[in-house]
Amino acid sequence: MHIIKRFIDLKRLLDDKQRRSPNQIVGFVPTMGALHEGHISLIKESCTDCDMSICSIFVNPTQFGESNDLEKYPKPIEKDIELLIDIGCDVLFLPTVEEVYPPSYTQQNFDLIGLDIVFEGKSRVGHFQGVCNVIYRFFDQIKPHRAYFGQKDFQQTVVVKKLVNITSLNTKICVVPIKREPNGLAMSSRNVRLSDNGRKKAAFINESLRLIKNNFREIGLSKSIDLAKKHILKYDNAKLDYLVVAETDTLKGVETYENKKLVALTAVNYEGVRLLDNIILT
């Protein structure tokens, strides 16, 4: 596996590969490291679909509101490298903050028609503009044919599709299903910050979403959302940020479900750790 730290070296490698065997499909998996089976499933999908797969590890400072969360972000780079070699990833792109954002760089403000200011964007102001800046920079430099994102960060997939749509980027966004721990908790690099007991109990987050999925046709959306909220609030140390049902492509909140493609999305703060989950309803 090549480990590359500068865009110029990555572009040189890609050009070289294209010269030797033209029309190679390049797949890209952006991550912030502390890799787990969720990330691995994205990279495996890229390796299956593409001739060459690049995984980036970059803890993007512009998408973190509280610097505290940024500092606490786990960074087990040696273990990540081993995992990437084991699954046959071709390139690890490991840039520094200065490489991604040189002094001449000015943060862009993308018009995401409001997709960036609801739900996660409301609690983490500026988060999705930060995500879009780093993704734009990576896609613009690397020009991957396909990029892989997890359904786990559902709103991010909608935002990134919009970004591609409103810019001249030519990358196909592929969404990969959520990998879960055996108890149903969505895998996340942040799960290591939960206590052992908390990690077991945190199954209640996915249970609450399944309560909506299993009941909304019979009792309606609003009552099933109430059931789910009550389930979450039974747990000490759980603070509900949001639990909403929205249209999958516009993220507009809905009251009724007829003929719409819907997703239930939640963010819960549990033992001081922000945990996200979602479930497709229709």
Tell me if 243 contacts ligand AMP by CB under 6 A: no
Q: Which of 39, 127, 145, 231 is catalytic?
A: 39
**Cross-strand partners of 116:** none
Minimum CB distance to ligand AMP smaller for 40 or for 221: 40
Rounded Cα distance between 216 and 195, Å, is: 33
Shortest Cβ distance from residue 221 to ligand AMP (Å)? 25
Task: Note whether 124 binds ligand AMP by CB under 6 A.
Answer: no
* 89 lines the binding site for ligand AMP (CB under 6 A): no
Side chain identity at 82, as an amino acid letter?
Answer: E
Residues 6+ apart with CB under 8 A from 68: none
Collapsed DSSP state (helix, strand, coil) of residue 148? strand
Taking CB atoms, the residue at the shortest distance from ligand AMP is: 150
Q: State residue 120 phi and psi, 5-degree precision.
A: -60, -40
- Count how many Cα atoms sit within 13 Å of the Cα of residue 223 in the half-sphere of its side chain: 7
Instruction: Lay out the site mask for ligand AMP across 27-66 (x = CB under 6 A, - = otherwise).
Output: ----xx-----xx-xx------------------------
Q: Is residue 186 at the binding interface for ligand AMP, with CB under 6 A as the rule?
A: yes
Q: Give dist(CA 38, CA 45) in Å, integer.
A: 11
Query: If DSSP codes are grouped into helix, strand and coil, which group holds residue 183?
Result: coil
Q: Give the range of 144-152, 208-216, 223-231, 257-265 binding ligand AMP by CB under 6 A.
A: 144-152
Closest CA to 139 of 169, 166, 159: 169
Query: Residue 14 Cβ, how far from ligand AMP at the closest point, in Å?
Result: 21
Of 45-53, 103-111, 149-157, 252-260: span binding ligand AMP (CB under 6 A): 149-157
Nearest-approach distance from CB 15 to ligand AMP, in angstroms: 26
Does the active-site annotation cover 127? no
CB of 150 to ligand AMP, least distance (A): 2
- Tell me, residue by residue from 164 to 183, as one string, x for binding to ligand AMP by CB under 6 A and - for no binding: ------------x-xx----
Of 131 and 243, nearer to ligand AMP (C-beta) is 131
Question: What is the closest distance, in whole angstroms, from the C-beta atom of residue 41 to ligand AMP in the complex?
Answer: 6
CA 191 to each of CA 56, 156, 180: distance values in angstroms, whole numbers, following the listed order = 21, 19, 11
Distances 41 to 55, 174, 280 between C-alpha atoms, Å: 12, 12, 19
Residue 263 contacts ligand AMP per CB under 6 A: no
Residue identified by tokens 């109990």 is 201
Structure tokens at 87: 């699954």
User: φ, ψ for residue 121 (rounded to 5)?
Assistant: -70, -25
Q: Which of 95, 121, 150, 198 binds ligand AMP (CB under 6 A)?
A: 150
Give, in order, the Cα–Cα distances in Å from 50 to each of 2, 27, 37, 103, 185: 17, 6, 19, 34, 30
Examine residue 133 and tell whether it contacts ligand AMP (CB under 6 A). Answer: no
In the complex, the residues that contact ligand AMP under the rule CB under 6 A are 31-32, 38-39, 41-42, 149-150, 152-153, 176, 178-179, 186-189
Catalytic residues: 39
